[in-house]
């Protein structure tokens, strides 16, 4: 459920707490902030302090970590959003069962580090404690009716549920969040338990879960202390459970299901990274996400781990060979097709260079002879020998303008269209035809010059 508010109201509740009309604590959460701009652009000083506090910078640093494969992507390449991101949420030591400040059970696509940067303890008001206890009993009766209807001893079940929702034990003054992290090896048993008991959980608007696509990737289940105890009794597995203190950094390996509950109002900063040791697990999770239903929110491959692997291997090979790693350049297009004209002019020079020396010298002599004839005023006889119909085409190709064409060009556009409508439309010069005629005349000139040179040598 989304609520529209301002920063003052949000942080007033962060420090003093917030309650609804029934006296039940309200929990608000600001997740994945900033949503669009980079963290260092919005909070440059905080970003610098966060980067300085990161553990194992060889893996976790987002810019200079040599063992962070996400760093290997080129600068002008489209990169996934690895953070850092801020999570600001209210929290209470007591587990209410409904409306708790929790991050539900899920798996991240990459390794992550989560740093607790600020906490604020919010005590329950004395006037509201009795009302909260009465509401908890009503909630327990409703849970037995809707979620545990098959239980024989319902009164005993109500007592168990009320007792399980007590304050967390061994909470110190600097504790901020309660973490539960499961091992990868326990995932099959964990999924089996969740598929068996998913109807005992609530999600949006405290409604019971009707179905699940994937018990972990749906992010719709939070295991309470009652369910964690029951999981150990039925399947013999339990998570690593610990309290995150102020200033602590929690490293979450990729593929490990985990959940978090805030014991106090907390501000956390999280950052994703990709370690070489866990790259195979990233690939496994990517394949698993692709098997989700088409409309599932986690189906999209946001990490693009295969692209990271390619660039990382390429960078490693270049470093071993002593070559510098070149950044891929963007395609540059010339305006007006200048690059094509430039390439066409160079084509003749390249073709001439590929000729043998004997033919190259003969070509040079022919060009030299043609220049001498031009200087002496010798006219190209091939144009005079052509018939009048072909002569006009050659004149057009050599830039000789016909007086009639020139007069037509000087006319305004309206008169030109009028003459075209009367059927006076002139045929346009076909470039291919002009090139063929020009090539033919050049071949005749070359043959005559070669014949003259051979006659002079003999």
Instruction: For residues 59 and 196, state if they share a domain.
Output: yes
Q: Rounded mean pLDDT of 168-190? A: 89
- The band of 63, judged by pLDDT with boundaries at 50, 70 and 90, is confident
Sign of dihedral through CA atoms 17, 20, 23, 26?
Answer: negative
* pLDDT of 124: 85
Instruction: For residues 301 and 388, state if they share a domain.
Output: no
Task: Confirm whether 377 is domain-assigned.
Answer: yes
Q: Rounded mean pLDDT of 65-94? A: 87
How big is the CA angle at 113 (ends 110 and 114), to the nearest 5 degrees?
125
Better-scored residue on pLDDT, 197 or 377: 197
| pLDDT (tens digit per residue) in 81-131 | 888 889 999 998 887 777 677 899 999 989 999 999 999 998 888 888 888
The mean of the pLDDT values for the chain is: 77
Q: Which residues contact 177 (CB under 8 A, 6 or more apart)?
A: 91, 116, 243, 244, 260, 261, 262, 263, 266, 268
Q: Rounded mean pLDDT of 371-389? A: 53
Task: Confirm whether 355 is domain-assigned.
Answer: no
Ranges assigned E (strand) in 90-171: 102-106, 111-120
Instruction: For residues 264 and 197, state if they share a domain.
Output: yes
Residue 247: CATH number of its domain? 2.60.120.650
Distance CA 105, CA 282 (A): 18
* pLDDT of 436: 73
* pLDDT of 228: 92
Q: Rounded mean pLDDT of 208-216? A: 88
Count of domains forming the chain: 2
Residue ending a domain, choose from 266, 299, 321: 321
| pLDDT (tens digit per residue) in 362-377 | 556 656 666 666 565 5
* pLDDT of 340: 43
Task: Confirm whether 433 is domain-assigned.
Answer: yes
* pLDDT of 377: 54
Instruction: For residues 63 and 143, state if they share a domain.
Output: yes
Share of residues in the chain with pLDDT > 90 (%): 28
Task: Confirm whether 181 is domain-assigned.
Answer: yes
Instruction: For residues 299 and 446, state if they share a domain.
Output: no
In the Cβ-directed half-sphere of 101, how many Cα atoms lie within 13 Å? 28
Instruction: For residues 258 and 396, state if they share a domain.
Output: no
* pLDDT of 421: 46
Task: Confirm whether 340 is domain-assigned.
Answer: no
Instruction: For residues 288 and 409, state if they share a domain.
Output: no
Q: How far is CA 231 from CA 44, 184, 237, 255, 368, in A?
A: 44, 16, 7, 20, 97
* pLDDT of 258: 96
Instruction: For residues 218 and 305, state if they share a domain.
Output: yes
Task: Confirm whether 342 is domain-assigned.
Answer: no
- The band of 404, judged by pLDDT with boundaries at 50, 70 and 90, is low
Instruction: For residues 162 and 278, state if they share a domain.
Output: yes
Task: Confirm whether 356 is domain-assigned.
Answer: no
* pLDDT of 167: 56
- The band of 256, judged by pLDDT with boundaries at 50, 70 and 90, is very high
Instruction: For residues 111 and 35, state if they share a domain.
Output: yes
| pLDDT (tens digit per residue) in 220-233 | 999 988 899 999 99
Instruction: For residues 160 and 92, state if they share a domain.
Output: yes
* pLDDT of 412: 59
Task: Confirm whether 33 is domain-assigned.
Answer: yes
Instruction: For residues 305 and 384, state if they share a domain.
Output: no
Residue ending a domain, choose from 303, 321, 339: 321
Distance CA 12, CA 19 (A): 12
Residue ending a domain, choose from 321, 348, 376: 321
- The band of 61, judged by pLDDT with boundaries at 50, 70 and 90, is very high
- The band of 142, judged by pLDDT with boundaries at 50, 70 and 90, is confident
Residue 333 has pLDDT above 50, yes or no: no
Residue-number span of the structural domain to which 84 is assigned: 7-321
* pLDDT of 285: 92
């Amino acid at each position: 459920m989304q609520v529209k508010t301002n920063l003052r109201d949000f942080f007033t509740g962060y420090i003093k707490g917030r309650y609804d009309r029934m006296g039940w604590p309200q929990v608000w959460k600001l997740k994945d902030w900033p949503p669009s701009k980079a963290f260092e652009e919005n909070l440059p000083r905080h970003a610098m302090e966060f980067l300085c506090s990161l553990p194992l910078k060889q893996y976790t640093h987002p810019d200079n970590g040599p063992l962070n494969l996400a760093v290997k992507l080129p600068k002008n390449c489209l990169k996934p959003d690895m953070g850092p991101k801020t999570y600001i949420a209210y929290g209470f030591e007591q587990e209410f069962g409904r409306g708790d400040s929790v991050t539900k059970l899920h798996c991240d696509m990459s390794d992550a580090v989560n740093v607790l940067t600020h906490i604020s303890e919010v005590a329950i008001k004395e006037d509201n404690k009795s009302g909260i206890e009465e509401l908890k009993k009503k909630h327990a009766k409703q849970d037995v009716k809707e979620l545990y209807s098959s239980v024989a001893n319902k009164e005993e079940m109500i007592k168990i549920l009320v007792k399980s929702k007590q304050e967390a034990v061994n909470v110190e003054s600097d504790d901020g969040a309660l973490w539960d992290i499961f091992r990868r090896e326990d995932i099959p048993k964990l999924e089996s338990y969740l598929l068996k008991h998913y109807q005992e959980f609530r999600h949006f608007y405290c409604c019971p879960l009707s179905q699940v696509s994937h018990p972990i990737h749906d992010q719709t289940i939070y295991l309470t202390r009652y369910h964690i105890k029951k999981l150990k009794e039925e399947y013999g597995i339990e998570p690593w459970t610990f309290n995150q203190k102020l200033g602590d950094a929690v490293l979450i390996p990729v593929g490990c299901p985990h959940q978090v509950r805030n014991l106090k109002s907390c501000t956390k900063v999280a950052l994703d990274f990709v370690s070489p040791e866990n790259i195979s697990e990233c690939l496994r999770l990517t394949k698993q996400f692709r098997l989700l239903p088409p409309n599932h929110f986690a189906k999209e491959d946001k990490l693009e781990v295969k692209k990271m692997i390619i660039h990382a291997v390429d960078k490693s090979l270049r470093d071993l060979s002593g070559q510098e790693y070149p950044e891929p350049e963007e395609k540059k297009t010339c305006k007006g097709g200048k690059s094509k004209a430039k390439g066409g002019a160079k084509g003749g020079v390249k073709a001439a260079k590929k000729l043998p020396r004997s033919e190259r010298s003969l070509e040079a002599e022919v060009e030299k002879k043609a220049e001498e004839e031009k200087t002496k005023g010798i006219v190209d006889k091939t144009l005079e020998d052509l018939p009048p119909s072909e002569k006009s085409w050659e004149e057009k190709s050599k830039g000789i303008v016909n007086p009639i064409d020139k007069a037509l060009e000087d006319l305004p556009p309206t008169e030109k269209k009028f003459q075209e409508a009367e059927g006076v439309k002139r045929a346009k010069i076909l470039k291919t035809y002009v090139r063929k005629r020009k090539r033919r005349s050049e071949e005749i000139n070359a043959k005559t010059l070669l014949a003259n040179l051979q006659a002079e040598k003999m």
